A and B are shown apart, each in its own frame.
Chain A
Amino acid sequence: MNTLLYIMLRRLRMPLIALILVYAVSILGLVLIPGQDDQGQPWRMGFFHAFYFVSFMGSTIGFGEIPYPFTDAQRMWTLVCIYATVVTWLYAIGATLAVLQDQGFLRLIRTRRFAQKVRALEEPFYLVCGYGTTGREVVLGLERRGLRSVVIDIRQERIDQVSLEEFALPAYGFCADASLPDNLALAGLEKANCLGILALTDQDGVNLAISIASKLVKPKRMVISRSENDITSANLASFGTDLVINPFKQFAEYFGLAVHRPHQHLVYDWLINPQHRPLASIYKHAKGRWILCGFGRFGQALQQSLQSEATAVTLIEPNPNLVTGNTDYIEGVGTEAVTLDAARVREAVGIIAGTPNDADNLSIIMTAREMNAKLITVVRQNHAANELMFSNSRADFVMQPGHTVATKILAHIRTPLLELFLQQLNTKDEVWCHTLMNRISQSVGEERVDSRSFIISLEQTPAVFEAIKAGAEISLRNLMKRPYDRKASLDCFPLLLKRAGDIVLTPGELEALQIGDELLFCGRFEDLDDQLWILENRQTLNYVLNGTDDNPNPILRWIRTLNI
């Protein structure tokens, strides 16, 4: 507040001095000019009356000539004073308004308010730099999990959008250059309750600067960075950035999975995506040639991903300079039938409309579908605002790069073990994934799959920890019983067990637990919540293990016998 006041006063120096001078001269004039009292005797106005008169004259209230009617000389002076004071007041008020509307001054006010809010923040929060499609989705995802975000973006309209979102936990927006450490510090970089920094701007240099700043201030805190080229990615990884995501590659991998390994893709999607997709949505995988429209960074990543599995690709791209090598290439946008015809659309299996223009993309798949009704259509959606058009496009697959990156980040934030599990999936074949898919499907049915990880430790699983310490034998099976009926099982199962560097996928139910084991479970959301009882409550664990109820509270024991 002090700085603001000082700056305002400094800007108002001239109008204030002008006001003081005009008032002083007016008062002095009235005191010095001889007047008359009501008897016609010579009389001089005192400072008290002069100040009173000028005060109401200057503010144009005008109570009249006090205490005695003025002489002509006094009136002449008053005439001068009226104009002088009114003009000075206009000048002073105008100057004040100008200061208050000054962009620099307003920015200063906003910055101060933001810094105050962040300073007062005592709950855990994430610092999100960049509020594009990805940033927005990450903030939404965090908000759904009850975590607050602090957002920095260089564009004011995006920050305006932050303040307009209807969040239960409003995110704090700040329009500033995130590559400057000072701005990051204002946004809570040094705060202990800042859980992680997400550098999601579309400038690699800025993301790099953010990540370095964060790792220097707090080396152990999580940093997730977006990076568009390999050099930056390597640089980011070199100083321990926890997760580096290349949006183009990330999506290409995701898409490659959908084309080549539909079952693994579905498992991946189920575990990582908040929106559950029914089993029936799995698309028929057909071997054959694909047509790829648009060969920018995105198209290049997709082509690599497709060709790595020896799938033939025909390119359609208006700019021939982008295409190198002797690939199967047609020049054009792909929106016209001629170009598509040249790309032999009638014999192709699928078409990917991956240009940076949403209207072009929709046009491509509509034209292509008319020419070949059996074509698998994949369309890239660039802007979230076009959601309506794309959901009605009847494309087999709408690819939203921002969405893919956001879900990946959210999964990483939720549990790093999930990430590990998804990586391990690559080492397994389709049959294995198909089996896993069926198992998940049996476990959760058509509901949403959730996953949760924990470490057998005093902090996270006190009951299990104490029992193992006391020598009890606890196997994974014990953790999958219903806490109120040990004969029934929870709808969940272990996906991964990490023990001293060894990783076991879908460990057996008889596996005995040891202290320090890291476990990843998946299953129904409610059942995973019930499982917490076994992990944290000694009595529940005892019941699940031995079937005996040693609750010291007789009333609770009695209630349990009622078997409600």
Chain B
Amino acid sequence: MNREKVVFAFFIVLALTLNAGFVVGDVDNPAHHEVIELFLAIVVSLICTVLKFGDRSHLGALMLATSLVADLQLIAAASIWGYHAQIAAAGVTGDAMASIVSFAAGALVANIISVVLLVIETVMVRR
């Protein structure tokens, strides 16, 4: 068992699960979406990105790209949340929550691709 591989897979799967946990629920209901979960999803996604640095293989480049996409989507979601919570007069409304969740859902797709690539890489190594 390779400790480095465990840590790597752990963070990638954790990024997916946190992201999924945040997205699940009614898209425009603020009560269904926990802000701390979004925060953790961002942090884990950033760590995943750093872990993927420096792999120059084709698969490695693809994984880094998906991670960067997820970061971008999640940070966009967080920025929208921050704007509505702190600056906009109406606060975090259902409409605002809908756009936040849709951004996070985009990140979810990127994270799913990332996990699929991880599985593919594992299968290739097995063979």
Contacts and interface: CB of A to CB of B under 8 A. Distances in A.
Interface string B34-76: 0110011001001100110110100000000000000000000
Interface in A11-32: 11-13, 16-17, 20-21, 24, 27-28, 31
A7 B54 contact: yes
B82 interface: yes
A21 B78 contact: no
A24 B46 CA distance: 10
A9 B54 contact: yes
Nearest to A14: B50
B86 A20 contact: no
B116 interface: no
A67 to B, nearest CB: 10
B51 A13 contact: yes
A6 B61 CA distance: 11
Interface residues on B, range: 10 to 19
Given A31-B36, A46-B85, A47-B82, A20 B54 contact: no
A12 B39 CA distance: 23
B82 A6 contact: no
Which label, helix, strand, loop or mixed, suits the secondary structure of the A interface? helix
B36 A28 contact: yes
A124 B33 CA distance: 67
Given A28-B39, A31-B36, A47-B82, A10 B47 contact: no
Contacts of A17: 47, 50-51
A48 B82 contact: yes
A6 B57 CA distance: 11
Interface string B78-101: 100110011000000000000000
B82 to A, nearest CB: 5
Given A46-B86, A48-B85, A16 B50 contact: yes
Contacts of B86: 46, 48
A10 B35 CA distance: 31
A9 B53 contact: yes
A20 B39 contact: no
Contacts of A6: 53-54, 56
Contacts of B46: 20
Given A46-B85, A47-B35, A47-B82, A10 B53 contact: yes
A17 B51 CA distance: 8
A395 B54 CA distance: 63
Nearest to B60: A6
A11 B53 CA distance: 9
B54 A10 contact: yes
Contacts of A16: 50, 53
Contact of A21 (B47, B51, B53, B56): B47
A13 B51 CA distance: 7
Interface of A: 3, 6-7, 9-13, 16-17, 20-21, 24, 27-28, 31, 46-48
10 contacts: A6-B53, A11-B54, A12-B53, A13-B51, A13-B54, A16-B53, A17-B47, A24-B43, A28-B40, A31-B36
